[in-house]
Amino acid sequence: MSPKLSNAQIAWRAAQDIADGAYVNLGIGFPEMVAKFQPPGRQAIFHTENGILNFGEAPPAGDEDWDLINAGKKAVTLKPGAAFFHHADSFAMVRGGHLDVAILGAYQVAETGDLANWSTGPKGVPAVGGAMDLVHGAKRVAVITDHVTKEGAPKLLERCTLPLTGVGCVTRVYTSLAVIDIEDGRFVLREKLAALTFEALQAQTGARLHLTGPVADLTVPEL
């Protein structure tokens, strides 16, 4: 079995590309981990759909204020200058193009940039929620995901087979094996695990990987 990154390591890698002062929305669940790994000297301003801007890390166990939660119903803290606002105003920020980055999870990503991150199945997310607004409102949309499903099927495909969250919206995918950009309807490989050959990576990808230059080693800390 080939080596792969943990969820924390994928989140760490995604965090390295967030600019200082960027307005960022993190998807519910796994993407929320990105907030833990901001590089020294950089501080993103995190937005949540339920109406908080500039919230901080989770409080210590027992110190939660359950009036202060994110969209995933997890307790958060506030940073100086934090703001509260109506749910509708929050979505006006999203739809008005005021977010620099949205980082979401995925069931499937197509080489065209299409995203499927919800499902009508018995164990699926019950509705598309705010993701459909985020993927077309944020200036940049990135996905963090395992490279394959639990059954070993590719999650990066020529075309998505599940209901779409958005069309042509994703520009970069951080997986457990590689960092891949979406350019001109193609998957372009930027980084991969050093221990993984290109051929082995391609075998786990459901669409052709393109090379436009040197491929860097995907290097992350032990977490």
pTM here?
Answer: 0.93
pLDDT in tens, 87-114: 999 999 999 999 999 999 999 999 999 9
pLDDT in tens, 116-165: 998 766 665 566 778 899 999 999 999 999 999 999 999 999 999 998 99
pLDDT in tens, 17-50: 999 999 999 988 889 999 889 899 999 999 999 9
Whether 221 has a pLDDT exceeding 60, the answer reads yes
Give me the catalytic one of 32, 49, 64, 183: 49
pLDDT in tens, 172-218: 999 999 999 999 999 999 999 999 999 999 999 999 999 999 999 99
pLDDT at residue number 118:
83
Is residue 187 within 8 A of residue 172, CB to CB? The reply is no
- The residue to which tokens 């193009």 are assigned: 97
Residue 135: name the closest of 110, 170, 184, 187 by CA: 170
- What are the chain's domains? 7-216 (3.40.1080.10)
pLDDT in tens, 135-149: 999 999 999 999 999
First vs last C-alpha separation in the chain: 21
In the beta sheet, which residues pair with residue 75? 69
Distances (CA, A) of 205 to 110, 151, 194, 197, 215: 11, 14, 17, 13, 16
* 223 vs 218: CA distance, rounded Å: 15
Residues 6+ apart with CB under 8 A from 112: 159, 167, 168, 182, 185
Judge whether 64 counts as a catalytic residue: no
pLDDT at residue number 1:
45
